[in-house]
Every structure is written in C-alpha cells, then in structure tokens.
Amino acid sequence: MKILLLDKNHPLITEQLLAKNFVLEEDFTSSYDEVCRKIEHYDGIIIRSRIPLDKNFLEKGKNLKFIARVGAGMENIDIPVAGKLGIQLINSPEGNRDSVAEHVVGMLLILMNRLFIASQEVKNGIWKREENRGDELLGKTVGLIGYGNMGKATAKRFSGFGCKVIFHDILPGLSDEYASQVSVEELKQSADILSLHIPLTSETHYIIDEKFISEMKKDFYFVNTARGKNIETKYLVEALKSGKVKGACLDVLEYEKASFENLEHENEDLQYLLESEKTIVTPHIAGWTHQSKEKLAQVIVDKIIERFAG
C-alpha cells in the first residue's frame, strides 16, 4: 500500500510502517490543490489538520482505502462522503487522553489557587496573602459534557481530588467507578465546574450558549479543551464579567484556524480573555505532551498495521 504523509509526526510512524513494507511518501508543504492533483495515486493518508479533506478532495482520491488522523477530532474530514466512498477513518484519541486530563486539572489548579498571579506578584516584589486565597477542588461537583476517552481520563483525575464527578453523554449506560451519568438538566443543577470533552459537529457547535449558561444553577468554573466553537465566546465573556462564570480555562478558542496553528482573527471578546485575571488561556496544547506525541503515533500505526498489513 502506498501512503501519503501530510504532516510531520513522530518518526516511529515511518520506521514501523516501512518495516511492514508499506510505501511512504512525505509531503508537508504542498497546497490543497497540489495534493488534490496527485491523491488518486495513494491508498492511504496520514494527517493531523493541515488541509481539509472535503468532498472534492475525497472524490479525487479514487484509490483511498483509509485516512488516519493523528489526534482525536475528525471535523476536518467530510465523514459522510468518506463513508459513501468506502474510505475507513482512523483516529487516535487513546494517545492523548492522559495529557488532556492532566491539562484540565493543571489549568484549574492554577486558576482556582491564583498560582500564576501570585507568582508574578512575588517576582515583582509584591507580597499579598489574603488577596490570593485559593478555592479547593475537594468537595466540588465536576460536570463533564462527553464521556469518551478524554472525559473518562479526566473523571479519573478529579476523583482523586475528592470531587463528585457527573457527566452527560448521548450514549447511554456509561457510568463507571469514577463518574455517574446524568441528564443535562441534572448536570446544570449540580455542577460547580463544567468541562467539555466532545467533538465539533453540527449538534455540538455552540452547544454552550447564552441559554445554557443562564440555566446553570450555580456560579461555576468553565474548562474547554475540546473545540473552540463548542462555546459562543461572546456569552462566555458576558458571564465572566457578571460573575456567573467564576473563571475559565481555555485551551481552545473560537477564533482558531482550522489547522489550529494560529488565530484567524481578533476582537474585543478575545482581548478580554487574554487580559482577564479570571482566565487561563493556552495555545491548543492540552493533548500536546512529549509522551502523547509518541502515543498518538503508536496508536495510529497499530491500527493501520492491524487492518492493512499483509
């Protein structure tokens, strides 16, 4: 099988697939149109997010048998068209679930205990104790939206902090030793912390909007390591200003490019998020540890070899 690699990834992908007699070609720079012109010559693609694999692209890939995305989200791929064309879709959420879960907890600890603010103050000769009192995770109810790989790994971490963890998911029967499945209504009634662990689809686009925020019974902390467009940012900013949202930890932003490599545009809402003491903002790196880079690649390789080797 001939595979086109469209993004740089861990070298183990190349090493292990070559050892299994796959034919590999790397192309990390060609434009969408340039790749479209040659895609018919390949049996498979390995990609992160560099270019969109839309209907036009997939129909030109007449010999494509699979697309492997090194990561979790598949919104950059026209999934229905791929299904109609018989193209198998492979992703690797198992590879970065632990790094995402640790990032969620890490951001909350920094925010709730004012660690970054207090550290910067001391480094600038300011010694404030009363003003920097923290807020404990112990005893908080954490509400997760989505209970796949990321949600489960996150629930496991929170359970170790003495939190009650509840979640809502479109699939039934997912409760386990770390978290209990509840309705959206019950989650809104109980959660002190709301954390998103869902893909970006037509159903989850702006799932957190003005109405959702207003229906949360408690003032709450908000965490998003999923996708920026899962929440309508202007209403998050309004809620931060009013105090309904006590603080926000954002690893993803509504204003990111589809490739996640930078921001598409800036506005007043973004500026508020970047300047507020109520927010922690990171550049889409929750799943981006040294360990996850290797694990993501290994999961992809294992799945390709299992399905297509020999």
- CATH code at 175? 3.40.50.720
Q: Within this chain, do residues 103 and 142 fall inside the same structural domain, yes or no?
A: yes
pTM: 0.94
187 pLDDT exceeds 90? Answer: yes
Same domain, 70 and 202: no
Kindly state whether residue 292 falls inside one of the protein's structural domains.
no
Backbone phi, psi, residue 45, to 5°: -130, 140
Q: Which sequence positions are flagged as catalytic?
A: 227, 256, 284
DSSP string covering 14-56: HHHHHHTT-EEEE-SS--HHHHHTTGGG-SEEEESSSS-B-HH
On whether residue 227 sits in a domain, the answer given is yes
- Residue 39 and residue 284: Cα distance in Å, rounded? 29
149 and 215, same structural domain? yes
Residue 39 and residue 104 share a domain: no
Question: For the purposes of burial, counting CB atoms within 10 Å of the CB of 242, is it exposed (0-12), middle (13-18) or buried (19 or more)?
Answer: exposed
Q: Could you give the CA distance from residue 162 to residue 45 in angstroms, rounded to a whole number?
A: 43
The residue among 94, 57, 98, 95 whose CA lies nearest residue 76 is 57
What are 116-156's pLDDT values in tens digits? 999 999 999 999 999 999 999 999 999 999 999 999 999 99
> What does the alpha-carbon distance between residue 292 and residue 310 come to, in Å, rounded to a whole number?
28
pLDDT band at 257 (very low <50, low <70, confident <90, very high): confident
Contact 118, 132 (CB under 8 A): yes
Q: Given a cut of 80, is residue 114 above it in pLDDT?
A: yes
**Are 264 and 116 part of one and the same domain?**
yes
How many separate domains does the chain show? Answer: 2
- Domain interval for residue 50: 2-91
DSSP 296: H
Same domain, 176 and 117: yes
Question: Which of 69, 91, 113 marks a domain boundary?
Answer: 91
